[in-house]
Chains A and B, each alone.
Chain A
Amino acid sequence: MTKVPLLDFAHARSGDKGNTANVGLIAYEERDYPLLVEKVTADRVKEHFAGMLEGPVERFALDNLGALNFLLHGALDGGGTVSLMTDAQGKVFSTALLRMEIEVPDEVADRVRGRGRLPAARGGTG
């Protein structure tokens, strides 16, 4: 087994609703979606964002799109115009989630390695 960042399995987009950030995590390949469902649980995401959230994490599955939607409650220091954060609207929580590593069989790791990086940057370290 090898640890691989979600970056190599999925792309993502995030946004805000008040003080909650959402992250949509979308599998590049349909065959990898079940792996995301299994490994990227609400609890793991909560743990990943330790120290960054004042509230719970909710997860919703969109099997039809091969995607998971996470709600990160209390992520935005009040959100909108209240927040002092650079990312007051949660625009880049997407790539913050993609830093998370999951353990996968070596052959899966070999298949996806570097997928999420600019081709010129592949093979380098994160």
Chain B
Amino acid sequence: MTETSARPIRIASGQGFWGDDLEAPIRQVEGGPVDYLMLDYLAEVTMSIMQKQRARNPAAGYARDFVPLMERIFPACAERGIRVVTNAGGVNPAECARAVAEAGRRAGVEGRARIGVVTGDDLMERLDDLMDAGHALRNMETGEPLETVRDSVRSANVYLGARPIVQALQGEALVVVTGRSTDTALTYAPMAREFGWAWDGYDQLASGVVAGHINECGAQASGGNCLADWWDIPDLAEVGFPIVEADADGSFVVTRHPGLGGTVSLRTVKEQILYEMGDPSTYITPDVIADFTTIRLAQDGDNRVRVSGIRGRAPTPHLKVSVACSAGYKAVGTLVYAWPDAAAKARAAAAILRKRLDRLGLTFDRVLVELVGWDATHGPLAGEPPPDLPEVQLRIGVRGPDRASVARFTREIAPLVLTGPPSVTGFAGGRPRVQEIVAYWPALIDRTVVEPHLSVEFVEV
């Protein structure tokens, strides 16, 4: 039996995606007391990028930023017992842990830290066996079975819940590195571990899921990207990322370190709760289904929002699989047109380009024309552009299965400068790049064929 905690624990959010503010986790560690630091590096498309990196180099395929970060914060974490929980492992958690262990030795914590490594989410090697055994991995949006695109599959990972992370924490890991764990599990696993929650304590787990949802996008809960009174949010230059201060019953306070920027208010927290929300009564995770319509919020002092009342129910027999498939090619080209009649010039240029593509016999699944500065974000809601618009960027994209056709399109942008409408500039970047499209294929799988393959191993620094 592991000892459990009666006092509140503080779980700090340090990264909301791979590419987030590199200094944020440092501010979380140095800005005041925290017990855990959670770092979310994975988005739907990130796994396929990492898979590509690993194909080229067997030692790659994880969020490399995590290694120098740990080198900086390892001494403080080891000294103060701050535990780090992250999905930085991507498609290669073992190599990530090895690199982090080396960083720990360079940082002078040799013999003072253990790294827990969670694996078993990667289905790539098992895919044919699973499909032969009748697991169709049907696309949740279209219903098509995965065999229709089998040859184009680039990665396949199951979203794992909190159990293996809890196991790693019980094994006294100071750092837990996972692959495709759910973003929310990185926050509620520490709660489940510290308070010794039962796996059928669904209300507590659901509370943890809400805490995780609030933490998982970093500063989006503490004033970043907040629409409500954005002009009044102080010092975003040094924004304090959210901290969940959790009690044993599952209720918690969202706050941030004093002395940093940003705001934690009912409005910033509500905006983040609604981010990427589906049916709010049925937020499905591997460990529990949380009901977001039961959340109660109350301002609890400056930069403190209390969250309570959350109800949960038993999870489904399935786990979600994120499959990435190669799905053709695309390219996007841009040119800038100046006053007067900027939008009319840009549209005339687009019409000329389309005629040329037709004459070349090039066909695409999709051609999209946008006027950046007028309708690129709000489409027809923007209405007709005025003739006095000072400038507009023409942005044309094409998508299709044939790489050569997309490549030829990229050579048809620059000629418009001398062969199209006047007052055009902004082509200094050269030809647009042809990009391979990696499409996301969401599917479900019976959890009983995944859970026996989960593994937690430990690496000593």
Contact = CB atoms under 8 A, between A and B. Distances in A.
B79 interface: no
Contacts of A66: 270
Interface in B302-332: 327, 330, 332
Contact of A92 (B277, B292, B370, B377): B377
Contacts of A94: 227
A126 B225 CA distance: 21
Interface stretch (B61-69, B200-208, B435-443): B435-443
Contact of B439 (A49, A67, A80): A80
B23 to A, nearest CB: 23
A36 B147 CA distance: 45
A118 B270 CA distance: 20
Interface stretch (B119-127, B186-194, B393-401): B393-401
Given A26-B267, A60-B281, A80-B44, A85 B370 contact: yes
A41 interface: no
B295 interface: yes
A105 B368 CA distance: 41
A23 B292 CA distance: 15
Contact of B366 (A50, A71, A84): A84
A22 B366 contact: no
Nearest to A68: B274
A103 B214 CA distance: 34
B281 A13 contact: no
A18 B142 CA distance: 11
Nearest to A50: B380
Contacts of B351: none
Contact of A84 (B227, B372, B397, B440): B397
B227 A86 contact: no
Interface in B410-459: 435, 437-440, 442
Assign chain A's interface to a size class. 35 or more
A12 B366 contact: no
Contacts of B271: 11-13, 24, 26
A81 B293 contact: no
Nearest to A28: B228
Contacts of B141: 18-19
A39 B58 CA distance: 56
Nearest to A22: B277
A30 to B, nearest CB: 10
B116 to A, nearest CB: 30
A22 B277 CA distance: 7
A119 interface: yes
A17 interface: yes
Contacts of B56: none
A104 interface: no
Interface in A78-126: 78-82, 84-87, 92, 94-96, 99, 118-119
Given A19-B141, A24-B273, 9 more contacts: A17-B278, A50-B380, A62-B295, A64-B297, A65-B273, A67-B274, A82-B327, A85-B368, A96-B381
21 contacts: A11-B267, A13-B225, A13-B227, A13-B271, A13-B272, A15-B276, A22-B274, A22-B275, A24-B274, A63-B293, A64-B296, A69-B277, A69-B278, A77-B366, A77-B368, A81-B437, A82-B327, A82-B439, A84-B332, A86-B377, A96-B377
Interface of A: 11-19, 22, 24, 26, 28, 48-52, 60-67, 69, 71, 77-82, 84-87, 92, 94-96, 99, 118-119
